Structure 1
């Protein structure tokens, strides 16, 4: 390898590495460090421990150990509802959005008439911005002029259902919006996986007398294990980083609390508790890493046994 080749390789490897360090690893490690401090984003940080006898403003930038985590778990009313809502979001994505997207992919893979049109229609929500999706569904859910209340005859009256304002309904209403988008995303991934499956596998299953359902679950689905891994990881990440739709709806309050919204409201909100918001971000990171790590470990271990 010549000197020029070494320089080219160093540049091609070094630039992505530096970008990864600058935008992913350094901010992540900094967030972990800030989670052990009491800092409001103004002024410098110092290494001395916080003095509980002093007012908070005089303790800015000091190290307070795990107090942020303790406060979140014991003295922050929005924390546990946000954790619960994040797990509900994950459960809906895993149990509804992902199977629905897979069903769409299987149907479209059969090359039914108008499949391209259906594919474009189902994938359209993925191409739209989340802000626009929120606006579209506002016309569906609106208490005064929404499509649902109009259809059921409750638009504009005192008995009109406030789909986005009722804490017992708004989470499920927003989850329907998110599922509408996520199903199209999963559909495209599964459709790409189905197109890549060797056709001879289907022919062999047909010769052996397997029907369509048996062919898919016993032959096609196991072959798409790499796609399944990617989709599961994406599903976990998308569900736990959910932010836009709930923030557009009511800024993540009144029944729509999520960890991502709490992180934002504490770091860039009126209170600007950067240390406390960073602790919430670390909790969100740990929650997302646990299911992904367990799933990948189990998957790769099964592959090694085979």
Structure 2
């Protein structure tokens, strides 16, 4: 027994030594920077000179005086809602279609996933040309079919946010589509066949069999989509830079402008800390509730 206990102790020590490199990287890359960022957010600092301690004043100003910050939060919430209902729905629809047996489905899987591997800033450049009011594809298409319609897609504050979302949607559907496709292929055909024998049609099989069996996949997809929606930056910055008139301002773009354009490092870092807090408030309860064992 003593020899067995000694062997267990040696094994535990070896396990800790194997975990040590990963723990060091995790602490140095994630944990320490997070706490240091919160520390910086308590100061008024331009990134070069001396820091002036202001406590929670940066946070107070954000919530009580900063209208741009309020706009950014609302835009992020709109983006999250659109992402969950539009991006997830389209991705699931494509996955269901591409899960069927038909000639060329492998090609179409790669075709619809391809935009996902393009750099977001390249996506922004592509869609800037598509949205161009003079030579852009959309307005030219309307003219070609005889429809007298022309729109300043990314210059009109009323539609710019939704236009940017369409550009992001083109790239965003690939990853959740692959996740849903993997979840669909993990469903046993015997279960669906049994439902068919019991008289269930395609719609009933989808909502009462397929969707419940995709529960774990939905947890992963919704969590990743919400995080991506909270920190969306590249496409917005590349297309509008948060304009016009802050109509497409996001927390990430506002944080960037405060830190790197106006040198308000403490203020911008406070925005970053709020972003992290909001993501934790949304994601942690959601994953804990939906992923728990029945």
Number of matched pairs: 282
Whole-angstrom distance in 2 between the partners of 1:22 and 1:28:
10
What's the CA shift string for 1:21-65, capped at 9, x where partnerless?
A: 11111111111121111122124xxxxxxxxxxxxxxxx412211
Whole-angstrom distance in 1 between the partners of 2:126 and 2:248:
19
Inter-CA distance 195–168: structure 2 relative to 1 (3 Å threshold): same
Instruction: Return 5+ residue gaps in structure 2 as ranges.
Output: 1-6
Deviates more, 1:4-13 or 1:201-210: 4-13
Is 1:256 aligned to residue 226 of structure 2? no
Aligned mate of 2:182, from 175, 192, 196 = 192
| Structure-2 residue corresponding to 1:240 | 230
Whole-angstrom distance in 2 between the partners of 1:199 and 1:179:
31
Instruction: Return 5+ residue gaps in structure 1 as ranges.
Output: 44-59
Deviates more, 1:287-296 or 1:188-197: 287-296
TM-score, reference length from structure 2: 0.89
| Structure-2 residue corresponding to 1:71 | 61
Query: Does the 8 Å contact 1:97/1:180 carry over to 2?
Result: no
| Structure-2 residue corresponding to 1:291 | 282
SS of residue matched to 2:134: coil
Whole-angstrom distance in 2 between the partners of 1:139 and 1:115:
30
Query: Does the 8 Å contact 1:83/1:259 carry over to 2?
Result: yes
Whole-angstrom distance in 1 between the partners of 2:154 and 2:21:
45
Quote how far apart the aligned CAs of 1:153 are.
2.6
Quote how far apart the aligned CAs of 1:4 are.
9.1
Whole-angstrom distance in 2 between the partners of 1:177 and 1:186:
16
| Structure-2 residue corresponding to 1:146 | 136
SS of residue matched to 1:42: coil
Aligned mate of 1:276, from 245, 267, 283 = 267
- RMSD across aligned positions (CA): 2.1
Whole-angstrom distance in 2 between the partners of 1:200 and 1:92:
35
What's the CA shift string for 1:124-158, capped at 9, x where partnerless?
A: 1101111111121122111221011112239xxxx
